[in-house]
Amino acid sequence: MRDSQRAFLNDLLATASPSGFETPSQRVWTDYVRGFADEVSVDAYGNAVAVHEGDPDAPTIALTGHADEIGFIVRDVLDDGFLRISRIGGSDRTVSKGQHVTVHADEPVQGVIGQTAIHLRDRSEDEYEKIAEQFVDIGAADAEEARECVEIGDPVTFSTEVEELVGDRIAARGIDNRTGTWAAAEGLRRATERDIDATVYAISTVQEEVGLQGAQMVGVDLETVDAFVAVDVTHATDNPDVDGEHRGPVELGSGPVIARGSANHPVLVDLARDAAAAADIDVQLQAAGTRTGTDADAFYTVQGGVPSLNVSIPNRYMHTPVEVVDIADLDAVADLLAAIADGAGDATPFAVDV
């Protein structure tokens, strides 16, 4: 990964983007893709679209990732200055207490999610409180002082930064799924470098974590797209605390993950596998018998049936402040996306043979 590509990734991961509040992250993304896209546009809710215009007779393929992350939102300011919070998306109540957080008010406000000291708790009654029962301490003496800094509806995220681990691995908050938006942008850039025949869209959607909302908006707007490839993270289950019931075939550092079943169109699955083989990219397979849990589930039905595919990045510890990915996997996903777009013409029409 080149320095400029890594800087773009770091900028995305450093920019808070909870669902419904994605604008700062989308600015980072659009600033980057303007360097090579033929056109960049943003809709009313902040879905960002960049395009490489290809041959009018060649297929059109969209490479997508979602910009939003899970988080919290201020729902009340208590008389003693503490903040009550609610969840944004699938926030995990087992990892939130005792964490540094940032309240994204007009000016960022630092705080902590309080955890009573172990000395003062009845250990026999320890349990994980619901998010709605937890609180943020910003240091305010009372409600009046707190309200000078924050207000109801301000989003809240963990304050973790990108950390370098051993080898090519990094840990950060929000890897789900700004690594996907990074890959979509990089896939487009690598496709433009090849000057491929297909028209290629790169899309950074909003509000995936609260119901695939941005994908439904984009799916309606882009009527000319022949196929969508939704890039998201998936569970790498190669850490020792994953039990047998949940342990799967996906490992960190073993390459992009191609999903099969449900939304994943078989012609696109074959295209992705063939493109990977031709480009000497190692890939992993994952079963999606009912749903993918990604934007692909919205794209493939929103216009009555648009061929779609979910390609994933292996990710440990999803929906925690310490998600872990391998940089080599990210690079390989971007290469695979460009290869898929390059091979799209030979795979059309994207239709099953009945």
What is the set of active-site residues?
Answer: 208
The β-bridge relationship of strands 308-315 and 48-52 is unpaired
Residue 209 annotated as binding site: yes
Distance CA 96, CA 83 (A): 14
Specify whether the CB–CB gap between 138 and 146 falls below 8 A. Answer: yes
Residue 319 annotated as binding site: yes
SS3 111: strand
SS3 251: coil
Residue 100 annotated as binding site: no
Distances (CA, A) of 139 to 12, 72, 86, 87, 206: 29, 18, 19, 22, 32
| Token pair of 151 as six digits | 């207000």
Task: Give the count of beta carbons closer than 10 Å to the beta carbon of residue 285.
Answer: 12
Give Cβ neighbours of residue 205 (< 8 Å, ≥ 6 apart). 47, 64, 65, 66, 67, 68, 214, 215, 217, 218, 295
The sheet with strand 163-164 has its strands ordered as: 163-164, 169-172, 323-326
Distances (CA, A) of 119 to 42, 82, 112, 116: 52, 22, 19, 8
Residue 122 annotated as binding site: no
Give Cβ neighbours of residue 245 (< 8 Å, ≥ 6 apart). none
SS3 249: coil
Residue 31 annotated as binding site: no
| Token pair of 240 as six digits | 């020792």
| Token pair of 157 as six digits | 């995220």
HSE of 15, CA atoms in CB hemisphere, 13 A = 22
The β-bridge relationship of strands 169-172 and 323-326 is antiparallel
Q: Binding site: residue ranges?
A: 66, 176, 209, 232, 319
Q: Binding site for Zn(2+): residue ranges?
A: 66, 176, 209, 232, 319
